[in-house]
Structure 1
Amino acid sequence: MKLTKTAIRTAVGLALGLGAAATLAYAQSAKDDPVAEYRAMFGDDNPAELWQSRGKDLWEQPRGPKNVALAAVCDLGLGKGVVKGAYAQLPRYFKDSDKVEDLDSRLLTCMVRDQGLDRDTLLAHRFGDGDNKSDIEALAAYIADQSRGMPIKVALTHPKEKQAYALGKALFYYRAGTHDFGCSTCHSQEGKRIRLQQLPDLAAADGAKEAMTTWPAYRVSQGEVRTLEWRLGDCFRQQRLPEMIYASEVPIALTLFLAKNAEGGVMAAPGLKR
């Protein structure tokens, strides 16, 4: 079939139009998510896999003065050594510690109490930096991956779980500091952003699911896996609030509140973040 000049112009114009639309769509996607090109380049791969591998070894190897493996003694809520699906149900109340614990604090409990490791040393290396890698971040990456594809489901049955949820909700809306900021200042409305960073509405189910299903995450800008406690602590820093005490009731309560908002979201952690 012989194409007329008009048909050729129309086809070229359509191709150019589709190409421009695709370019614009990608540009908008990259603008909304600065890591989009990085994710596309890596495909299904995530550097967090290196942390997961080390975390698996740390979970299974006997360590500490008591020379025992976490896999033999640490109960994350589903029984000693059970990691499959455990992260998706944290934070939760633990009878043996009489506390509501998230993953970071529960790992500390097991490593100190059951393995005999020094708490201060663990806290001094809670966040990795270059050659100084964090055991907790590696363990978190491995354990979170074991809940991949499972829905978030946290309980509010024990009185201490209810108290923690209420505290987390109050903290989320509490405003203080030199800028009168709170979590809700940035994360309680749709469509807000800081520079290129979109700010999910964590008070709503969709926004909470988007965030809670992808932490812990590999931070491209830092070259490290970070846990949700790190993310919350950094939010406190940006709000000009006093430094958040790691593994204290504050991050645990906030995490429980956000996890309950995200209930039903399907775990995809470790994620890949800016």
Structure 2
Amino acid sequence: MGRFLGLLVALVLGLGALGVLAQEEDDPVKEAEKQKQQLLEQSGGILPSDLYVQQGEELFKAKRGPKQASLEACDFGRGPGRLEGVVGRLPRYFFDTRRVEDLDSRIRTCMIRLQGFRPEEIRRSEVVAIAFYIASLSNEKTMYVRPLLPQEKQLYELGERLFYLRAGPRDMGCASCHVTYVGRRAGVLPYSDLLGDKRVASHWPAFRYSNDQAWTMADRIRACYANLGMPAPDFYSEPIIALTLFMNAQARGARMDLPGFIR
């Protein structure tokens, strides 16, 4: 009997160790870091996201559009031309447009107002590249999204409702994966770092190179809707900005990893 109990204990401990190992292998953050290091070794220290940042910087500083102007006079919340740390304060209410804007929509606003582009002339790929450049200047900075104005609070509440809403043919929502299945399904990231160490890097806001393309927060939200079998909100629309505001506010106090790298 003693020998049997000993074997049983060993078996339980072995299964526990295998469970821990499986969890580590399924950890998307650790797997991403592993793949990132492999890619850095293979590419000589250059990541694909670095190329998007470089392209975005060139687009940001170039005099373009009917008005032949750059975006250097654009105010992202800290004054014209001040870009460091701005991603950690977005989305926010802007008095010049009288609405809450995220990084993507603010870039679009400035391309229209400063450079004279018509909305239909703005290329999504250029907005993404510029967003990656601006996001890179907030790397290692602290998240500080805090809805204070009535317009921000209203959109935050909308984002919270949308996040927990179950709908569509699969009767699922954002929380189905990013709350319910966190730790139970491979590759699923929690929607916030509230339970973790705020000094470590947060995976939100998301400006990442993944699946061989650059994704802003808006791209990832739209992709999630598609995965749920629901129509994706339009780029620069209120639902996307509301969800971004809600999730970014949850990450307040965390350190940003921008642009990130997750497969």
- TM-score scaled by structure 1? 0.79
> Paired residue for 2:101?
101
In the other structure, the counterpart of 2:161 is: 170
CA–CA distance in structure 2, aligned partners of residues 95 and 32 of structure 1: 41
In structure 2, the partner of 1:250 is 239
Contact 2:84 2:138 in 1 (8 A): yes
Q: 1:192 aligns with which of 171, 177, 184?
A: 184
Q: Distance in 2 between matches of 1:203 and 1:151?
A: 14
Q: Tell whether the 8 Å contact from 2:91 to 2:101 is kept in structure 1 after alignment.
A: yes
Aligned to 2:137: 146
Secondary structure of 1:184's aligned partner: helix
C-alpha distance in 2, partners of 1:183/1:258?
Answer: 11
- In the alignment, is residue 212 of structure 1 matched against residue 204 of structure 2? yes
Match of 1:273 in 2: 262
Q: TM-score, normalised by structure 2?
A: 0.83
Match of 2:37 among 35, 40, 45: 40
Partner Cα distance (1:54, 1:235) in 2: 27
**1:62-73 equivalence runs, <5 A:** 62-72=63-73
Equivalent residues in 2 for 1:13-32, closer than 5 Å: 29-32=24-27
Helix, strand or coil for the counterpart of 2:155?
A: helix
CA contact (8 A) 1:71 1:80 kept: yes
1:229 equivalenced with 2:230 (yes/no): no
Post-superposition CA distance 1:102-146 (Å, at most 9, x none): 001111111012211121132xx31xxxxxxx1111111110010
Q: Kindly tell me: are residues 173 and 46 of structure 1, through their superposed partners in 2, closer, same or farther at Cα, counting changes over 3 Å? A: same
Say if 1:147 and 1:267, in contact at 8 Å, map to a contact too.
yes
Question: 5+ unaligned residues in a row in structure 1: which ranges?
Answer: 1-20, 127-133
Take 2:195 and 2:112, find their aligned partners in 1: how far apart are those partners? 37
Asked if 2 retains the 8 angstrom alpha-carbon contact of 1:200 and 1:210, the reply is: no
2:55 match? 54
CA RMSD of aligned residues (A): 2.2
Query: Which residue number corresponds to residue 119 of structure 2?
Result: 119
Q: Deviations over 1:218-253 (max 9, x none)?
A: 11x2x2211010000000111111221111000100
1:82 alignment partner in structure 2: 82
Bigger CA radius of gyration: 1
Deviation (angstroms), 1:192: 3.0
Aligned residues: 235
Tell me the CA shift for residue 60 of structure 1: 1.1
Per the alignment, residue 259 of structure 1 pairs with: 248
Partner amino acid, structure 2, of 1:191: G
Name the SS of the counterpart of 2:100 in structure 1: strand
Unaligned runs of 5+ in 2: 1-16
